[in-house]
Every structure is written in C-alpha cells, then in structure tokens.
Amino acid sequence: MRAIIALGLAGVLLGTAACSGGGSDAPAASEKSVSKGPYKSTPLPASYKIPGVRLTDQNGRPYDVAGQAGGKVTMLFFGYTHCPDICPTTMADAAGAMSLLSPAEKARTRVLFVTADPARDKPKALKDFLGKFDPSFVGLTGPYAEIKKAADDAKTPITPPPADAKGNYAVQHGSNVMVYGPDGSGALMFPYQFGSADMAHDLKALLAAPASAPAPTSPTAQSAGASETIKVSGAQVRVPSSPDVTAGYMTITNTGQPDTLTGVDSPAAATVEMHRMSMDGNGMKMEQVKAVPVGKGTVEFAKGSLHLMLMKPRDLKVGQEVPLTLHFAKAGDVAVTAKVVPVNG
C-alpha cells in the first residue's frame, strides 16, 4: 500500500479521502467554484484559512502558523522525513520553484513542512531533512493532537502511526500542497508532481495579484506582522573568505514596544547564528547569543561587536543580494535583503 494518500479533485475541490476510504474532508456544499484565472493549479475558496495552531519549528522555537503568515504566500505540506518517495519529490519540486523566484518574491514566500510522524521527526530530523532541499523551508512538529488539528483545518488527511510502531514504518498523509495568500486565505492547491516550473508560475501570479502585500525593497523591508515598528537598514553580508563561515551586519530600528530577536535564517547559508565580541581579562572573546533584546531605539550589528555569522555559506559573489528572515518574539518575521560586499567593504 502506498504511504501517501492522493487527494481527490473534481471541479474546484470535492474533498480528500483516507487511503482506506474511511473519511472525507469535503468543503461545505455552499462553497462555490472558483475561476482558475491566471493559474495552472486548482484555486481554493477564500473561506479556506491557514491553520491557527502553534507548533515547534526545526530550531526548537515556538511557531504560530497563522501568526507568522501575514504578508506572505504560504505553501503548506504534511509529510514525514522517512517518506520514500512523495515527500522528497514534493520538497524537491518546491525547492526548484523557489529557485525560479526573484529574491523579492522568495522573501515573500514560505514553505512549511508539517510532520505527520512527530514520534520520529524531532526538530533536528526536520532540519537535516529540509536542509537537503532549501534551508529556508520551515519544518514543524509538536503534539499529534495539534498536528491533526492543523491537518483538519487544511482539509488534508493524516493517519497516526500505529501505537506500537517500530522500525521503518509508513505513515499515511495527503499529497497535495495547500497554498495560502498573504491574508491567510485559501488560494491554490498544487497536486502531487505538479512540477517546479508550474509551481513557480502560479506563485509569481499569486504574488503579483492586487491583494498581495507589497514586495519588500532592498536593503530595508518589514513584514505585515511587524506593523512597521521594526525596520532593518544597511544589511550586508561579507563575501566568504572561507567555505565555513562569513559575517553579516545590519541596523535594527524599533519604534514600537520592546521586542526580542530570537533568530535569523537565510537560504544563503546552512545556518545563521548571532554572535557578540567583547573584552575580558584575557583579551577579545566571541560568544554565541540565542536572543537579542530590541528595545525602543536602535540595535547595531557591526564589526567587532554584535554581528551575524553565516555558517557554511553558499557560493556568494560581491554585489549579489541574499534574503534574510529575522524572527522577532512579538513582531513576527521580518524579511530583509542583504547585499554581498567585499571582505574589507
């Protein structure tokens, strides 16, 4: 038996069914058909909403699925890291689609992979799995009850693993990617093997739609969740002088309530860490910091003090622009475009 359940489609969306034929998540009879418009995939009724659940991301941080979606197009997929075929194929297609977007488009697009197998898919397993495709992808796990609620909200069937499951067992789950617009409303549904080119085509059309949030501009951008109180300027990444690490700098200005920067991600590196240089009795030392308080005013990430460290950076060239995503405890995610500068720039 296949480990993945293909979602049944007819018209706009007739519903989803478990592999055993024992269930259906069909939309209400009042749902009306939706015009395909400029899209190649199946449009969803706007009444479909992104799941309102809190899970844990691949870095072990709390993640509010609906709260983090503001201003971005979200691609939501339920699967598991031990999946032999459908999940890696779908993530590869999604990674290919992201590679076809401009930096500004990519900064406004998020891919969420929610595990249907939380017993095996701990944060590190999700991070290792998704890192093979695109480090910007967000892996989510948590209590099965919350995962099931998210799947039900997304009208995607999942079946819990056997209670006594051991070894390389299979997990049944839906095979479609649910896509939500910047306001969290249902937008599109990508079927299995839709392909990178068609995904990118529809994402570009959705991002260009009048209802979409404005595209971020370089070098400063902010997400809808930041309510324009958090602004980032002067974002730069040094061209790597070694394959292992390079530094990044920026200025954060907060005109609202005190907040906390809890982390930074970028597809330009395997991971991004925050580090601080300081003097002690033995001279200069550098230590990693997990969170940076951002009170009302300005916080500088600069040479010789607080700065970013991009670990295992990609093949970056001077003049290139790379996206960064800053995670704030209150303001949510802020998308920033950083320019690659010379080592002594």
Q: What is the pLDDT of residue 165?
A: 65
Helix (H, G, I), strand (E, B) or coil at 127: helix
Locate tokens 């992201």: which residue? 98
Whole-angstrom distance, CA of residue 327 vs CA of residue 61: 10
Mean of pLDDT over the chain: 82
- Burial class of residue 35 (count of CB atoms within 10 Å of its CB; 0-12, 13-18, 19+): exposed
pTM as predicted: 0.59
Alpha carbon of residue 230 to chain centroid: 20
Please give the backbone phi and psi of residue 64, each rounded to the nearest 5 degrees, phi first: -90, 105
Residues of the chain with pLDDT under 70: 1-36, 165, 210-228, 279-284, 345
Structure confidence by residue, pLDDT tens digits, 222-274:
443 444 689 999 999 999 888 889 999 999 999 988 999 988 888 888 889 99
Q: What is the pLDDT of residue 195?
A: 93
CA dihedral sign of residues 24, 142, 77, 207: positive
Locate tokens 């200005």: which residue? 253
Is 3.40.30.10 the CATH number for 4-208?
yes
Q: What is the pLDDT of residue 158?
A: 92
* Domain 224-341: assigned CATH number: 2.60.40.1890
Whole-angstrom distance, CA of residue 113 vs CA of residue 97: 15
Annotated binding site: 83, 87, 173
- Sequence ranges of the domains in the chain: 4-208, 224-341
Q: What is the pLDDT of residue 187?
A: 92
Neighbouring CB atoms inside 10 A of 286's CB total 11
Annotated binding site for Cu cation: 83, 87, 173
